[in-house]
Amino acid sequence: MTERPLNTDVPSPARIYDYWLGGKDNYEIDRIVSEQILQALPDLPILARTNREFLGRAVRYMVAEAGIRQFLDIGTGIPTANNTHQVAQSVAPDSRVVYVDNDPMVLAHARALLRSSPEGTTAFIDADLREPAKILAAAGEMLDFDSPVGLTLLGVVDFLPDTGEAKAIIRRLMDALAPGSHLAISHGIVGKQLEEGVRHWNESGGAPMTLRTLEEIAGFFDGLELLEPGVVPLPRWRPTPETLHADREAVYYAGVGRK
């Protein structure tokens, strides 16, 4: 894997997310921009934790109830607790997981992601969500597209400003996957509470974020069977007794669809 140079002068979504989760893989520019955003939206660290919890519940559902044994996780972020392969392989040790990200810091930590169970497989692809053909070609060497795949796009579609392009990319990815495949998405929703924080982020020089309406987010599941309870605030997607903040309003929404 060829390492690309880290740019410590521009904030990184993956590093800021790591900072909110209490990690140490971030730089001064990330912390400065984070504090500016937190002034407008102090609950964002809670959002980061609820997004990670949603990942765990969605992947666990796909493995335990839908019988899926392979995953394509695009927009992976810096490794932390309860990564996709850890959740999947805790239920089915033979699960195969392919991670995709284009952040050099994430690439630098790829080895941490590659610690699979002996029975399973974990791999990493250096690619951008805007490159679905590249992603599918590389992932197809490790995953069996004739069997169902769990595709996760958590907090990454926000960085595709054109909704039509975003829908086309998601459709391209899902078209390549077998019936029974599942799609999980989490995405920021339009509203004053999040808009100020996104304004600070977009002025920071990082990749611009785009918020969308509930209807636009639900539109990413067109052609799929949208599972109950639909597109809802992160903590309200099939919460368990351990789910944090299930009674709170959320600025990030999530859903899971079945092909």
- 237, 257 Cβ separation under 8 angstroms: no
**pLDDT at residue 4, rounded to an integer:** 52
- Total structural domains within the chain: 1
Asked if residue 183 has pLDDT above 50, the reply is yes
Q: By residue range, what is the domain housing residue 170?
A: 13-258
CA distance 75 to 233: 20
Q: Give domain status of residue 1, yes or no.
A: no
pLDDT of 2 > 70? The answer is no
Residue 2 lies in a domain: no
Tokens linked to 198: 């996104």
Q: Note the pLDDT of residue 105.
A: 78
More confident residue, 249 or 235: 235
- Mean pLDDT to the nearest integer, 149-155: 97
What mean pLDDT comes out for the span 140-149? 97
Backbone torsions φ then ψ of 120, nearest 5 degrees: -100, -170
Q: What is the pLDDT of residue 75?
A: 93
Averaged pLDDT for residues 57-79? 94
Is residue 3 in some structural domain?
no
Q: Determine how many CB atoms are found less than 10 A away from the CB of residue 152.
A: 26
- In the chain, the percentage of residues whose pLDDT exceeds 70 is 95
Q: What percent of the chain has pLDDT over 90?
A: 58
Closest by CA to 218, choosing from 171, 179, 174, 253, is: 253
Q: Are 110 and 97 in contact (CB under 8 A)?
A: no
Task: Tell which wins on pLDDT, 190 or 24.
Answer: 190
| Highest-confidence segment of 5-14, 108-117, 191-200 | 191-200
Which is higher by pLDDT, 108 or 166?
A: 166
Decide if 54 is inside a domain: yes
pLDDT recorded at residue 6: 54
pLDDT band at 1 (very low <50, low <70, confident <90, very high): very low
Global confidence as pTM: 0.87
Helix, strand, or coil here: 47?
helix
What's the pLDDT score for residue 186?
97
User: Is 17 among the domain residues?
Assistant: yes
Least confident of 37-41, 90-94, 129-133, 214-218: 37-41
Look at residue 129 and tell me if it is in a domain.
Answer: yes
Mean of the per-residue pLDDT values of the chain: 88
CATH code for the domain of 40: 3.40.50.150
What pLDDT shows up at residue 230?
98
Structural domain contains residue 76? yes
- The pLDDT assigned to 33 comes to 82
Distance of CA 72 to CAs 86, 144, 185, 199, 246, Å? 14, 11, 12, 30, 27
Residue 149, in any domain of the structure: yes
Q: What is the pLDDT of residues 86-114, one digit of tens each?
A: 999 999 999 999 999 988 878 877 766 67
Across residues 48-52, what is the average pLDDT? 87
Taking a C-beta distance cutoff of 8 angstroms, is the pair 54, 115 a contact? no
